[in-house]
Structure 1
Amino acid sequence: MFQTVSFLTALMAVAPFTAVLAQNAFSGAVGFGAVATGGNAGTIVYVTNLNDNGTGSLRDAVSTSNRNIYFNVSGYIELVSALSLSSDITINGQSAPDPGVGIMGREVSASGKSNIIIRNFRMRQGNLDPDSKKSAFNMGKGSNIILDHCSFGYGVYDTIDAVGAVNITVSNSIIAFPIGQQFGAHVETGPATFYRNLWVSAHNRQPLSKSNTQFINNVIYNYQAAYTVANTGGSFSHDILNNYFIAGPSTTKASNEYYQMDAGQSVYASGNYLDSNKDSTLNGVEENSVGSSVALSAVWESTSTGLANLTAADAYAALVATDGAGALPRDEVDTFVVTTVQSLGTSGKIYTSQSSTGLTNDGYGTL
């Protein structure tokens, strides 16, 4: 059953897993979603089993607002229906015993909700989900949401759906192997921050950014189209700084690292590199040409320059070392993702099913 205790008492008890809270979501939080405070001042609740529902389950824990959620168990929670979050919650996946915790088989939904923090958590949808219109994580029409050190995989509709979302950050995360539409992320409204993420083996939308966006220190590997706006996106501003685009076996046109960037967009692009030769060596060249977009002479968002504190090459080294959910060593799926990236052009595939990866547990990997 759930264990509930006062916030201050529990905070002291779990100090190794928590960060000092300041004016933002957690120490080190960045971007537009860092304004979230989640359930940090609410009741602390412990998830005590891996059941889909019932007392002690994650579904029960997220059913009420103002909760700060910790885990006494590790492993996969296999969902039988989409997991709907409440507003004003924090999910602390880093509190789970090794090898960590996550969900498989259905969407996690924060649709229409606000003030959510999720850290060190795996969200792997896959074709166990019978609904082809669902995504691995959906925050459509949500606000003040930050996802940090998460591992997203096998998204069916989109991996991350953020249509109509306001003030969001996705940071230090792995966004890999989408199936179905084979898309990474779709954001509209914004503003949005994508910071230090690994984007791996997607057809398109890495992200599709119909919003004012910061895109800083990301690595995009084995893409068919990477940073995308689309001609119907409207007019937005984009800070695209110190990212590394790396072609892989599925990349048919390396110059689609910036895709459908039309004259309605205003872009400050600097320090970005493109490695197009698929020769197992990181040896790209600087590439900051963004189609017919209006080239800005300075960042549109004043905090962007300070966030871009790694070169593209240094970002690659840091992300393959530390991105994703849970402590090192990584789990089976994330290890496969990172190994694919480290092949630097010689390995990678855009999948239609998680089982096609050949990993255990029908492709979900074993926790």
Structure 2
Amino acid sequence: MIPWHVCTWALLFILTVIRVACGLPAFPGAEGYGSDTPGGRGGRVIAVTHLRDAGPGSLRHALEVETGPRIVVFRVGGTIALTRPIRLREPNSWLTVAGQTAPGDGIQVRNYGLMMSDGAHDIVLRYLRLRPGTADPAKIGGAGIDALTLWGNDGSRVHHVVVDHLSMTWAIDENANHWGWVTDVTYQWSLFAEGATTHHPEGPHSMGLLVGGDARNTVSVHHSVFAHNHNRNPLLRGHRADFRNNLVYNWGTGGSAQFAEGIGRV
């Protein structure tokens, strides 16, 4: 029989290792709420091998169809033209998308954007260009077309997300929309720019980043650029907002950064 003191020390060692591992940043340089997510660390490596919208080897398949911890890398560079948004739900969690692995000029996603909902969590997105654009006439009146959407509710919180070195431009609604019960999210070293001024049912829109819809929101926005958007540069609502070291440039009638009702600490 193993002496009790040996078992005790072994248990303490295991718990210490787990605690340290859980406290590691998603990657070196990740800072802010949710930045301690492991993402897909330790999971399978899945390669994007072509630029088509769907099918094995596509970005959509790696994000929407595959499940469990995984790291998505790119064997190709170029533009992926989507026919509908890519949507991540709870089974698609524990994910790291390493856009910096794409050869050439990297990866651009156009026509539609990425969406996290239905309990998606522990997701790291890095080095992507999300550019919905307005070229498709079918998108006229597209009030909900964002480059990036995080959408949570009471039954399915979206949490522990890191957005790093993303370019989010030319969206019809917001370049990034963070709404409902969405907690522990960081946007860092990213660009929110040139929100589209056409196709929205309310007329010229052009919005940067909207955070709100629930008093429990916690969000960090740092080392990012907001440029050439009419409004929401960003508009922050919720419980706690960490907004620092950002550049807001050439805003329109809506002004610069806005801190609205519900913000408890900034």
Range class of TM-score, shorter chain: 0.7 to 0.9
Q: Secondary structure of 2:237's match?
A: strand
Once the two structures are superposed, residues 52-76 of structure 1 have per-residue CA deviations (whole angstroms, 9 ceiling, x without a partner) of: 0011100111122322100000001
Q: Secondary structure of 1:29's match?
A: coil
User: CA–CA distance in 2 between the matches of 1:207 and 1:140?
Assistant: 17
* Matching residue's letter, 1:72: R
User: CA–CA distance in 2 between the matches of 1:228 and 1:158?
Assistant: 15
* Matching residue's letter, 1:228: Q
TM-score by length of 1: 0.57
Paired position in structure 1 for 2:133:
126
Paired position in structure 2 for 1:39:
40
Paired position in structure 2 for 1:187:
211
User: CA–CA distance in 1 between the matches of 2:185 and 2:161?
Assistant: 5
Paired position in structure 2 for 1:71:
74
User: CA–CA distance in 2 between the matches of 1:120 and 1:140?
Assistant: 21
User: CA–CA distance in 1 between the matches of 2:263 and 2:55?
Assistant: 46
The equivalent position to 1:172 in structure 2, one of 158, 166, 189, is 189
Instruction: Report how far residue 203 of structure 1 moved.
Output: 1.1
Residues 134-283 of structure 1 aligned to structure 2 (within 5 Å): 134-141=145-152, 142-164=158-180, 165-179=182-196, 180=200, 181-188=205-212, 189-211=216-238, 212-224=240-252, 225-230=255-260, 233-238=261-266
Instruction: Report how far residue 111 of structure 1 moved.
Output: 2.0
Structural RMSD (CA): 1.6
Cα pair 1:39 1:68 within 8 Å, conserved: yes
Cα pair 2:94 2:121 within 8 Å, conserved: yes
User: CA–CA distance in 1 between the matches of 2:72 and 2:135?
Assistant: 26
User: CA–CA distance in 2 between the matches of 1:33 and 1:223?
Assistant: 29
* Matching residue's letter, 1:220: V
User: CA–CA distance in 2 between the matches of 1:44 and 1:102?
Assistant: 21
Instruction: Report how far residue 124 of structure 1 moved.
Output: 0.7
Cα pair 1:104 1:123 within 8 Å, conserved: yes
Residues 39-118 of structure 1 aligned to structure 2 (within 5 Å): 39-63=40-64, 64-65=66-67, 66-85=69-88, 86-112=92-118, 113-118=120-125
* Matching residue's letter, 1:196: H
* Matching residue's letter, 1:237: R
User: CA–CA distance in 2 between the matches of 1:22 and 1:208?
Assistant: 29
* Matching residue's letter, 1:42: G
Q: Secondary structure of 1:134's match?
A: coil
* Matching residue's letter, 1:183: M
User: CA–CA distance in 2 between the matches of 1:176 and 1:134?
Assistant: 15
* Matching residue's letter, 2:234: P
Residues 37 and 71 of structure 1: CA distance in aligned 2, closer, same or farther (over 3 Å): same
User: CA–CA distance in 1 between the matches of 2:121 and 2:135?
Assistant: 28
Once the two structures are superposed, residues 240-271 of structure 1 have per-residue CA deviations (whole angstroms, 9 ceiling, x without a partner) of: xxxxxxxxxxxxxxxxxxxxxxxxxxxxxxxx
Relative to its length, the structure with more strand (as a share) is 2
* Matching residue's letter, 2:249: Y
Instruction: Report how far residue 128 of structure 1 moved.
Output: 3.9
Cα pair 1:106 1:128 within 8 Å, conserved: no
Structure 2 stretches lacking a partner, 5+ long: 1-21, 153-157
User: CA–CA distance in 1 between the matches of 2:43 and 2:53?
Assistant: 23
* Matching residue's letter, 2:38: T
Which ranges of 4 or more aligned residues in structure 1 deviate by more than 6 Å? none
* Matching residue's letter, 1:126: G
Cα pair 1:73 1:97 within 8 Å, conserved: yes
Residues 318-337 of structure 1 aligned to structure 2 (within 5 Å): none
Instruction: Report how far residue 235 of structure 1 moved.
Output: 4.2
